[in-house]
Amino acid sequence: MANFTKVMAAYVETGPANIILDLSAIDFVDSSGLGALVQLVKKATNQDKTVQVVTNARVTQTVKLVRLEKFLSLQDSVEGAINNLEPKSDSSTIN
């Protein structure tokens, strides 16, 4: 998890204003994964950037149990996340 956090933190620093993180192929997220996602969103927000997380039904259910679905800006598809973007100059999808 430390590697994910480090890579994503660097990407938030140097990457586009809108980030779409596609986790739809992930079957499970534990508390450390949720913590890493929360840190990522906080870092992006502090830099006036956005992060949207694309998930599947299983991960969405887990996130909803801890009531983070709005904070993490969960989306059910990459297309939905793209449509949800505010008009900004650049965006990127990470698979």
- Summarize pLDDT for 18-77 with one digit per residue, the tens: 999 999 999 999 999 999 999 999 999 999 999 999 999 999 999 999 999 999 999 999
Domain CATH for 38: 3.30.750.24
63-88: per-residue pLDDT in tens? 999 999 999 999 999 999 999 885 65
Q: Phi, psi at residue 52, to the nearest 5°?
A: -120, 140
- Cα–Cα distance between 47 and 61 in angstroms, integer? 29
Place of tokens 């620093």: 13
CB neighbour burial string for 41-77, b if at least 16 within 10 angstroms, e if fewer: bebbeeeebbbbbbbeeebbebbeeeebbeebbbbee
Is the pLDDT confidence value at 15 over 60?
yes
How many domains does the chain fold into?
1
- Amino acid, single-letter form, for residue 44: A
Gap between the Cα atoms of 62 and 69, Å rounded: 9
Nearest to 53 by CA among 34, 66, 31, 67: 34
Q: Residue 88 belongs to what domain range?
A: 2-94
Q: What pTM, to 2 d.p., does this model score? A: 0.82
